Amino acid sequence: MNIEEQLLAASIRETFGDADRALVKYEYVASGNTSDNVEDGDHSDDLEDATEYLRFLVEKAYRDTAILAERLGLPAYRKDIMNKMRSFPNLADAGPTRWDPGFHSPPLAAARSLYASLAAMTEGRAVTGLGVFETILSNTPKIIGQAEVEPSKEADVQRAVLLVLRHAFRDVVPDIHLGKNVKVYKPDIGVRSLMAAAEYKFIDSTTEAKAALDGIYADMRGYSGHHEWRSFYAVLYMTKPFFTQADAEAEFELVKADLSWKPMVMVGPGARSKQRAKGTGA
């Protein structure tokens, strides 16, 4: 499977996420209908806009999934997908059910089910590779120890991990350049075939612990919109246990961090050069 199919699959997953949010918006607007306002003014416009946007996203999910099936050499399945889409007289059909007061969209649910049958083909290799990538990142302290490195900055940690990653991935690259309008953002390490990147933070004090999280949030904004990179890992390398994995996950949830980002908290050897000098009386 080529990178084009992986990118298309990632785009389809993003469309489903957008459609889920559009369904919530549609439910909110539709639930405000009354006999007095359903035909009038701004409310009528809002309802029409919400309906059309939901219809657009559902149709896009079907058509992109059909294209993916074609690219994977499944023309008969592509035909099934399009026939299923045409079986719904209204792709924006949605409403509550007997078992759930929240709105349910049968066309959207069917599209998701059809994509799920292709997901194993498009995501299987990437998931396996991501597992290897995550395992290497999570073993950063062991890598540092085996390399007999006493890191004093992020670059020291990155270099040691990069050497190991090069044994597992041919296309691993350091310092990926992601351009924005003014500033260029550079994730520390990336594997192009996995569309995955890691950002390291070296933490040697409580002050640096807070600054590291603030820096990650800024990185999230800077790295967004680059569809060739889909999974990001915030590797928080600490010389002491300033906070835990659970703390980082709770913080990500609190600030509603981008779901494509995953924090990885770890403690390993090292110290900032200035602090190391103080410890030796220099």
**pLDDT-derived band of residue 181, with 50, 70 and 90 as boundaries?**
very low
pLDDT at 257 over 90: no
Residue range 9-18: mean pLDDT, rounded: 89
Question: Quick one: pLDDT band at residue 35, thresholds 50, 70, 90?
Answer: very low
Which own/partner contact pairs does 63-69 have at CB distance under 8 Å and 24+ positions apart?
64/8, 64/11, 64/12, 64/15, 65/12, 65/111, 65/114, 65/115, 65/118, 67/8, 68/5, 68/8, 68/9, 68/12, 68/115, 68/118, 68/122, 69/118
Residues 6 or more apart in contact with residue 205 via CB below 8 angstroms: 242, 272
Q: Maximum Cα–Cα distance for the chain, whole Å?
A: 80
DSSP-assigned letters across all residues of 56-74: HHHHHHHHHHHHHHHHTT-
Compute the distance between CA of residue 282 and CA of residue 276 in angstroms, rounded to an integer: 9
Quote the pLDDT of residue 226: 66
The phi-psi region of residue 72 (left if phi > 0; otherwise alpha if psi is between -120 and 50; otherwise beta) is alpha
Average pLDDT over residues 219-226: 76
pLDDT over 90 (residue 160): yes
| Confidence at residue 18, expressed as pLDDT on a 0 to 100 scale | 92
DSSP string, 188-238: SEEEGGGTEEEEEEEE-SHHHHHHHHHHHHHHHHHHTT-TT--EEEEEEEE
* pLDDT > 70 fraction of the chain, expressed in percent and rounded: 84
Helix or strand or coil: residue 174? strand
Residue with the larger pLDDT of the pair 163 and 41? 163
Please provide the average confidence, as pLDDT, over all residues in the chain.
85
Quick check: 178 pLDDT over 60?
Answer: no
More confident residue, 233 or 123: 233
Distance CA 45, CA 39 (A): 9
What letter does residue 249 receive in the DSSP assignment? Answer: H
pTM: 0.56
- What is the mean pLDDT of the segment spanning 183-200? 83
Handedness of CA 140, 141, 146, 147 (dihedral sign): positive
Average pLDDT over residues 162-182: 78
> What does the pLDDT average to over 196-203?
95
The partner residues of 191 in beta bridges, in order of sequence, read 172, 196
Confidence (pLDDT) at 277: 44
Which ranges of 74-173 does DSSP label H, i.e. alpha helix? 75-86, 106-138, 140-146, 154-168
Whole-angstrom CA distances from 245 to 48, 70, 149, 242 are 45, 42, 24, 10
* pLDDT the model gives residue 244: 96
Q: Is the per-residue pLDDT at 179 higher than 60?
A: no
Residues 165, 132: contact at Cβ < 8 Å?
no
Mean pLDDT across the stretch 102-129?
82
Q: How confident is the model at residue 165 (pLDDT cuts 50, 70, 90)?
A: very high
Q: Rounded CA gap, 120 and 158, in Å?
A: 32
- Tokens, residue 164: 């190991």
The dihedral region occupied by 41, where left means phi > 0, alpha psi between -120 and 50, and beta the remainder, is left
Residue 275 has pLDDT above 90, yes or no: no
Segment 116-137 mean pLDDT: 78
pLDDT of 29:
87
